[in-house]
Structure 1
Amino acid sequence: MRIIIINGALRDHAASGNMGVIDSHAQRGFRALYNDHHGWLRGWLRKKLGNACDAADLAHDTYLRVLASGTTPQPDDSRRYLTQIANGLVIDLYRRRHIESAYLDTVRYLPEAEAPSPETRALVIEALCEIDAMLDRLPANARTALLLCKLDGLTYREIAAQLGVSVSSVEKYVAAALRACYAALYGSAS
């Protein structure tokens, strides 16, 4: 099932291509939220992003996040709630663009025979964004210790000196980070 928002109405777009209307008491509140604030949200995002297409996409994604949350804000809190979600999506957009730009700069000068295909580039960029999000969810000490160990090749002793903690703490940070990454990838850290 894929949910599509069309003029504030929720549609269930089945794999067969048939579209059915999704309706319930709770979703009437969602439709009211959409109808009352969609134009405002698109304008706010357009001003923030300077791009009508990105604004429309992020406005749509904002409402999908509201729908996925299963809650509708109180009427007097609607714009703050929508703004909070939309701001997170704007940050995600900028992070993705930064990651994409850095990756494309890295592969730009590869010989044509070694350059990744557009499909491979898209998959790598998606994977890099997922890794970035996974790392962002780690506690700061665990993230720093993991990156210093795995990317910079520092020993635990060197990391401990840099962070001003014991080697034992670094071992715990790296182990916790690896468990969290494993759980994010495979669903369980056991």
Structure 2
Amino acid sequence: MSEALSAHDTHLRTVESLYSGHHSWLYARLRRKLGNAMDAADLAHDTFTRILASNVGVVEEPRAYLSCIAGGILATWCQRKALERSYLAALEHLPEPEVPSPELRYLVLETLHEIDAMLDTLPPLVKRAFLLSQISGMKYEDIARQIDVSLITVKRYMKQAFLQCLTLVE
């Protein structure tokens, strides 16, 4: 048990050292990239939260390590913002009576984010086949020709994607 406490203490000291020594640098870097102090503060916070939740030990190159973690968080954040912008742009074309309430918009955006995250776990061709079918409305035969695989492979890809979708509703 003392070994577990010692490892935990080492981890906390590492995170504390990273935070005290590099938070302002990371925040400034994110602020330059984003041009927004609030989003930069949120992403810097998320970076240290992720590190705190990990089992990181000694970090030889702290700024490179922080850049890598923050870069992944920033990429996910940018994807999320792009998805939100696309959804809101689509809403602009709806007639007034069909525009969803703010509460429904929030629920739809959260669902879109969950679906997007799920799709990112799929292999690229599976994801592409699924999107061609579900978004573009293509038939399986046409998808097979477009991505240069057999019809049975497209069916297998679709089964894999649908099974992954089921994990969202369970």
Measure the CA separation in 1 of the matches of 2:118 and 2:43.
22
Equivalent position of 2:118 in the other structure? 134
Q: Which residue number in structure 2 is paired with residue 89 of structure 1?
A: 73
Aligned-partner Cα distance in 1 for 2:140–2:93: 35
Aligned to 2:3: none
Q: Which has the larger share of strand?
A: 1
Query: What is the CA deviation profile of residues 80-127 of structure 1, one whole-angstrom value per residue up to 9, with x for unaligned ones?
Result: 111111111211222111111111111124333322111211221121
Amino acid aligned to 1:122? Y
Which amino acid in the other structure matches residue 183 of structure 1? Answer: T
Contact 1:73 1:81 in 2 (8 A): no
DSSP-derived class of the 1:153 partner: coil
Moved over 6 A (4+): none
Q: C-alpha separation between the residues in 1 aligned to 2:71 and 2:93? A: 34
Higher relative contact order (CA 8 A, sep 6+): 2
Change (3 A) 1:63 1:143: same
Structure with the bigger percentage of helix: 2
How far the C-alpha of 1:185 sits from its partner, in A, is 4.4
What's 1:174 paired with?
158
Q: Among 32, 37, 46, which residue is 2:22 paired with?
A: 37
Q: Distance in 1 between matches of 2:55 and 2:117?
A: 23
What is the CA–CA distance in structure 2 between the aligned matches of 1:72 and 1:46, rounded to whole Å? Answer: 27
Distance 1:58 1:26, change over 3 A: same
Matched length: 163
Alignment of 1:16-55 (within 5 A): 24-55=9-40
- Answer whether contact 1:58 1:89 (CA < 8 A) is retained: yes
TM-superposed CA distance for 1:183, in Å, is 3.0
Distance 1:112 1:69 in 2: 47
Distance 1:111 1:184, change over 3 A: closer
Cα distance in 2 for residues equivalent to 1:164 and 1:46 = 43
Q: Secondary structure at the match of 1:24?
A: helix
Q: Distance in 2 between matches of 1:105 and 1:79?
A: 37
Q: Distance in 2 between matches of 1:113 and 1:90?
A: 36
The 8 Å contact of residues 33 and 78 in structure 1, kept in 2 or not, is answered as yes
- Which runs of 5 or more residues in structure 1 are unaligned? 1-22
> Structure 2 residue aligned with 1:151, among 135, 149, 158?
135
- The 1-side partners of 2:49 and 2:113 are apart by 20
RMSD: 1.8
User: What is residue 108 of structure 2 aligned with on the other side?
Assistant: 124
- Give the alignment's TM-score, normalised by structure 1: 0.78
Q: CA deviation at 1:138?
A: 0.8
Q: Distance in 2 between matches of 1:150 and 1:112?
A: 26
Percent of paired sites with the same residue: 45
State the one-letter code of the partner of 1:94. Answer: C
